[in-house]
Amino acid sequence: MDLQRLRNKYAIAGVGFTEQGKVPGRTAISFHVEACANAIKDAGLRNQDIDGVFVYRHFEPLGNDYDFNVFNVAEQLGIRPAFVSQEHYCHRTWLTSAIGLLEAGICNYVIVSYGDNARSGRRKFIHELITETNVAKNDGAAFGDFSQMAKYAMVARRAMKEEGTGPDVWKEIAVAQRRWANLTPRASMYKKPLTYEDYYNDPMLIDPFRGLDAVGNADGGRALIITSTERARDLKAPLVTIRGFAGANVPDMAFRLKNDDEKSAGAVASAKAYQMAGVGPENIDACELYDCFSFTVEHTLRDCGFFKAGESKDWLTAERIGPGGSLPVNTSGGMLSEAYFMGMTGAAESVMQLRGQAGENQLGTVPGTKMPNLILCTDNGAVFNSNLTMIFERS
């Protein structure tokens, strides 16, 4: 379907941050509503203006937290929205759905919210496929196949065979993103440098992945408000529009995914997003990519056409994607080194960079960088099963 008619028709009008990192003594919902409140204030809207609410990927409560739902979030925000959604699984369809609601005229201002007390509550990201009572619950468990880490590592191992990648490439991603985090005061890894030696000294957890190839957990929240560009022009924040976007879902179980699948979710979604935007990878000034693992960044850059299969070992260097490089990637440190707020980490960072409000890590301010006009951002779900590619533009 030709979606060029939607090019730049919608915008991100508000971004909400919270305290983040290690913030003990807070419920998960408190981060949702703080992030939403701050996004509403950032946009210069009133709470009652929000008529669509998406609670992003939602997890089981930790510690003494009650579980909560999207009604609780809406109630605490004092709103009665026309549309609500609460996502319990890893599909990444929030922007596609939001734009559908806006385009149909069902909503005018859609808020998307992420919040978790994962770090203080010690949520085990890598234990994701085990229940809280530690009883295996799927066929894979019979074979000791636990965690999303193993699934991504499985795709990565095949890529090592087919494309000559491996830890030598992934260390570049880990180190480059750490350099960005070292410029970003809110990042979990601010003032915590990482060397290649540190990377190699980190033991393998699920070979070929080390702990440093994987995200950690963070407390905090993040929210975005999506509205029409027409409405956004009248609001407070500098205008950042959605020049292109597309989602794709490839629901095959992880062990059926093929590394060289040309119809992978990332390849399909990015091709459609480029087509809608009327641009290609050569026009992109920076990337904010979903990085649950270092290899996810490599796989996504390949799917998005920045290099061809087999080229990563030459192309993907910390010099290129780190501060001062020709293609800045994950300029806040990404989820690996800033904070794990899933797709909200990169989307929020994209908008702040294009507004010129990123702070110490602002492109154009960091030596060797320039102010960006177009940022490619991806959200990714399950094991490369769901991809949302967004191309944001500074007006």
Partner 1 sequence: MMNEIKYTLPTKIQDDNAAFWEGCKNQRLLFQKCSECGHIRYPASVVCPECLSLENEWVESKGEGTVYSYVVFRRPFDNSTKERIPYVVAVVELDDGPTFRTNIVDCEPEQVACDMRVSLKWEPAVGDLYLPMFKLAE
Report the interface residues with partner 1, using CB under 8 A.
126-127, 130, 134-147, 150, 153-155, 157-158, 161, 203-209, 253, 255-256, 258-259
In the bound state with partner 1, the residue whose beta carbon lies nearer, of 64 and 134, is: 134
Structure tokens at 208: 């070929």
Taking the CA atoms of the chain, what radius of gyration do you get in angstroms? 20
Q: How far is the CB of 67 from partner 1 (least distance, A)?
A: 23
Q: How far is the CB of 218 from partner 1 (least distance, A)?
A: 21
- Contact status, residue 146 vs residue 140, Cβ threshold 8 Å: yes
Say how far apart CA 256 and CA 78 lie, in whole Å.
Answer: 45
In the bound state with partner 1, the residue whose beta carbon lies nearer, of 236 and 258, is: 258
Q: What's the Cα-to-Cα distance from 211 to each of 2, 200, 268, 318, 329, rounded to whole Å?
A: 42, 11, 30, 19, 20
In the bound state with partner 1, the residue whose beta carbon lies nearer, of 139 and 360, is: 139
Q: How far is the CB of 259 from partner 1 (least distance, A)?
A: 8
Taking the CA atoms of 168, 174, 178 and 180 in sequence, report the sign of the dihedral they define: positive
In the bound state with partner 1, the residue whose beta carbon lies nearer, of 84 and 205, is: 205
- Contact status, residue 220 vs residue 120, Cβ threshold 8 Å: no
Cis before 208? omega within 30: yes
Q: How far is the CB of 154 from partner 1 (least distance, A)?
A: 5
In the bound state with partner 1, the residue whose beta carbon lies nearer, of 32 and 302, is: 302
Q: How far is the CB of 42 from partner 1 (least distance, A)?
A: 40
In the bound state with partner 1, the residue whose beta carbon lies nearer, of 82 and 204, is: 204
In the bound state with partner 1, the residue whose beta carbon lies nearer, of 204 and 371, is: 204
In the bound state with partner 1, the residue whose beta carbon lies nearer, of 147 and 332, is: 147
Q: How far is the CB of 271 from partner 1 (least distance, A)?
A: 24
* Strand 219-228 versus strand 110-117 pairing type: antiparallel
Give SS3 for 246.
strand
The kind and range of the H/E element at 297 are helix 294-303
Q: What's the Cα-to-Cα distance from 11 to each of 123, 195, 222, 278, 374, rounded to whole Å?
A: 33, 38, 17, 17, 13
Q: How far is the CB of 135 from partner 1 (least distance, A)?
A: 7
Give ∠ CA 19-53-293 in degrees, rounded to 5. 55
Structure tokens at 280: 């290609």
Q: How far is the CB of 299 from partner 1 (least distance, A)?
A: 14
Q: What's the Cα-to-Cα distance from 385 to each of 237, 263, 380, 382, rounded to whole Å?
A: 34, 11, 7, 5
Chain centroid, CA 43 distance in Å: 21
